[in-house]
């Protein structure tokens, strides 16, 4: 059973402060750490606040959990937007590639779609907890009209190869999907990931 803490109605500044605290704790145990973070609209205001935190950013590698297969300067690029916000602070931004070998993550920060997808592990991609590949090239079906591109995504084993997992989920509908997954009431990608998680999960919702 996943060790879950749900924190309701948290503001962006509170989430940024919490995440910075977890980074400090991880850095106290290791000279260098890696984290994975999501794309989408929700995290970027939090990244802007996080970049202002007094952290030894040069000791932190940041991986996107997924990305659209576009150039970094394309508006749909996750890594491009992450780089714009966190690289000036000193973080090392690592683009996803099909042959990447992700490290163990201090924290895997994830979002979730209304259909229960995590990273770009959409329901049609049938993600598996024992996937032998750390990164997959995937085609969502249906393709979101605002971003009709193939994706690269960390797989469930890569995302759960972490000390802890956090989610930031906005909206009652998404929260209901998440809670149903926690309770084992669906077999969506979010449910498969939570079932595979053996460490603490914090959900800001």
Can you give the three-state secondary structure of 58-70, one letter per residue?
HHEEEEECEEECC
In the predicted model, what is the mean pLDDT of residues 82-105?
A: 97
Cα torsion for 84, 112, 104, 29, to the nearest 10°? 80
Residue 1 has pLDDT above 70, yes or no: no
Tens of pLDDT along 111-126?
999 999 999 999 999 9
What is the CATH topology of the domain spanning 3-204? Rossmann fold (3.40.50)
Tens of pLDDT along 14-53?
999 999 999 999 999 999 999 999 988 899 999 999 999 9
In the chain, what is the greatest distance between 2 CA atoms, to the nearest angstrom?
43
Percent of the chain with pLDDT over 70: 100
**Phi/psi-derived region of residue 195, left when phi > 0, alpha when psi is between -120 and 50, beta in every other case:** alpha
Residue 98 has pLDDT above 90, yes or no: yes
pTM tops 0.85, yes or no: yes
Across the chain, mean pLDDT equals: 95
Tokens at 153, concatenated: 């995504």
142: confidence class by pLDDT, cuts 50, 70, 90: confident
Question: Smallest Cα–Cα separation from 58: which of 39, 31, 80, 26?
Answer: 31
pLDDT at 21: 97
Tell me how crowded residue 121 is: count the other CB atoms within 10 A of its CB: 31
170: confidence class by pLDDT, cuts 50, 70, 90: very high
Give the Cα separation of 90 and 49 in Å (integer). 14
Residue 7, CA distances (Å) to 11, 75, 104, 116 in order: 10, 31, 25, 19
Tens of pLDDT along 59-79?
999 999 999 999 999 999 999
Residue 15, CA distances (Å) to 24, 49, 74, 113 in order: 14, 9, 27, 19
pLDDT at 161: 97
pLDDT at 157: 98
SS3 content of the chain, % helix, strand, coil (to 5): 30, 25, 45
Top pLDDT among 3 and 70 is at: 70
pLDDT at 36: 98
Cα dihedral across residues 113, 119, 123, 128: positive or negative: negative
């Amino acid at each position: 059973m996943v060790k879950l803490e749900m924190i309701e109605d948290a503001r962006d500044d509170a989430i940024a402060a919490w995440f910075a605290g977890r980074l400090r704790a991880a850095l106290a145990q290791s000279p260098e750490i890696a984290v994975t973070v999501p794309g989408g609209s929700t995290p970027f205001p939090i990244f802007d606040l996080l970049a202002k935190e007094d952290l030894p950013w040069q000791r932190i590698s940041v991986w996107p959990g997924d990305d659209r297969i576009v150039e970094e300067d394309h508006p749909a690029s996750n890594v491009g937007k992450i780089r714009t916000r966190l690289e000036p602070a000193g973080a090392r931004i690592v683009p996803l590639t099909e042959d990447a070998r992700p490290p163990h993550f201090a924290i895997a920060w994830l979002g979730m779609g209304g259909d229960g997808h995590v990273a770009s592990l959409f329901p049609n991609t049938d993600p598996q907890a024992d996937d032998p590949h750390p990164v997959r090239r995937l085609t969502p079906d249906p393709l979101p009209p605002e971003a009709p591109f193939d994706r690269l995504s960390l797989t469930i084993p890569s995302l759960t190869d972490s000390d802890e997992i956090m989610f930031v989920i906005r909206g009652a509908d998404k929260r209901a999907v998440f809670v149903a997954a926690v309770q084992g009431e669906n077999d969506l990608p979010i449910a498969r990931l939570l079932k595979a998680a053996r460490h603490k999960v914090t959900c800001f919702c």
